[in-house]
Amino acid sequence: MQPQQSIAAPVEVPVEKKKGGSSAIIMACLGILAVAGIGFGVYGFMKKPETKVETKVETVVSKEAAASILKPYLGFSPISIMDGLSAGNKIHYASIFVNGIFDPEGDIYYYKSLDNSYFDLFGEHLEKTTVVAGQGVTFTYNPDRDWFLETGAAWGSPNPAYEKVTSIKEVNLTDDGLSIVFYQDSVPVCEYIGTDMGANGASEEYCISNEKLGMAGMNEFAENHEGMPTYTFTFGVKDDRYVLVDTEKNETDEVTE
C-alpha cells in the first residue's frame, strides 16, 4: 500500500496593481484650471474698466434738402416774409395756402383752416384777434363765426418779365434747428428785354434766360453774380419738422457780373 501524498495548495503570487494614469491626468488638469481661474479673477479685479468712446454723429443737411425746406416760404405774396416775421406778414402769408370764401366785404378764412396753415409754417397757433397786415390789408376776427375777414387785399399777378432767382449759399446746423443762407433777387428775364413787357433799365448783363430757370441754372447765375442779395432764414424744430422762426436780409455788395 502506497503512502498517501499530500496535495500542496496553490500559492497565490501577489500581482502589483497598475496606477490609474487617466485619473492622475484629470486631477492635474483640474488643478491647473483652478490656479488659472484664481489668476484671471485677480487680473479682472485689478484691471481698470475700458472707457467706451462714443462718436456723436451730426445730421448733415444737403443743399437739395435745404431747398425743399425753404420752398414753402418763397411763394408769391404782395407782402413778403422776407421783410420780417411780423404778425401781419405771417397771417397774410399763411392765407396763401388756404382757400378763402368770397364775400362782398372781402375774403373769409375759417379759423381752423388758417390756424393749421399758420402752425405748419411757423410752429405756433394763430391768435384770435384782429391783425393789420399792412398795405391797407386787415384780418378782422369774428368770434361769433370763428373766422377772419380779410379786407383791402389787392392781389396781383407776377410780372413774367421778372423771375425770382434763388440759390442756396450755405446751410448751418444750430442748437435748435438750422439756418439757411440763400441768394434771391427779382431778375429780368433775358427774352423780355427790349419788348413791351420788358423792365425799364433792364440790362443784358444781369438777366437770366428762360432755359436757365431750373435749379442748376439759378445756381450758375448766383455763382456768376456774387453780389446778389442774400437772406438768412432760421428754422426751429416742431413736431419733428422744420418751421420758420426768423428772417434776416444780409448786407451785400452791389451786384457784380
> What's the gap between Cα 23 and its chain centre?
70
pLDDT score at 5: 39
Give the pLDDT mean for 227-255.
Answer: 87
Give the tens place of pLDDT for each residue, 109-137.
999 999 999 999 999 999 999 999 877 89
Cell (9 digits) for 5 = 501524498
Cell (9 digits) for 123 = 410752429
Q: What is the mean pLDDT of the chain?
A: 79
pLDDT score at 194: 84
Strand ranges for 62-188 from DSSP E: 101-103, 106-110, 131-134, 137-142, 147-151, 162-173, 177-188
pTM over 0.75: no
pLDDT score at 54: 39
Residue 22, pLDDT above cutoff 60:
no
Give the pLDDT mean for 193-209.
Answer: 83
Confidence of residue 204 (pLDDT cuts 50, 70, 90): confident
Find, among 44, 126, 139, 47, the residue nearest to 92 by Cα.
139
Find, among 124, 123, 128, 85, the residue nearest to 109 by Cα.
128
CA distances from 190 to 4, 55, 210, 248 (A): 151, 51, 7, 29
